[in-house]
Amino acid sequence: MPSLEQLIRKNLNPFDPTTFRPGNFWKETQNLSHEVTSIHEHVVDSVEVALDQVAYDRQTRSLMLLGESGSGKSYLLGRIKRRLNDRACFAYIGPWSDSQHIWRHVLRQTVDSLMAVAEGQRESQLMRWLNGLDFLSGGAWLSV
């Protein structure tokens, strides 16, 4: 039977800044058997509270997730997406070095993310969002 040290050396260390790779929570399939729900549960709960507030007062909010490289931000975003995808749309904006065209990059990445179909869903986020819109008199749209 291999030792713990041998098992660790055999696999990449996700917390090692020399070997980790940035993750895209839309494209990665996370192994749910490795999930420890108590880790960062307060962050997931905070996002859920913010969504409740948006639903209540219809005021948009921005949340920022900060952390050291390799600290599990992408994994956490995957958890949040799985748990709350029926209540919110999620977009992945990957790294971009050319600041001159950053808005074009953000738009392209947002559209690509909205076209993605989340696990357990049959339609893309965009179609789910469009199907949830109510048409009001006067031509205004309201997101529900």
- Would you say residue 8 has pLDDT above 80? no
Per-residue pLDDT band for 46 (boundaries 50, 70, 90) equals very high
pLDDT of amino acid 79: 87
Vertex 76: Cα angle to 73 and 78 (nearest 5): 115
Average predicted confidence (pLDDT) for the chain: 76
Domain ranges, ordered by start, for the chain: 1-88, 89-144
Taking the model in full, what pTM does it have? 0.59
- Chain segment 13-22, per-residue pLDDT in tens: 555 656 555 5
* Bigger pLDDT: 95 vs 57: 57
CA torsion sign, 15 to 20 to 24 to 30? Answer: negative
pLDDT of amino acid 10: 67
Q: Which two tokens stand for residue 106?
A: 């953000």
Kindly state the average pLDDT of the residues 76-93. 82
* Bigger pLDDT: 26 vs 2: 2
User: What span, in angstroms and rounded, lies between the C-alpha atoms of 3 and 5?
Assistant: 5
The position carrying tokens 């490795």 is: 34
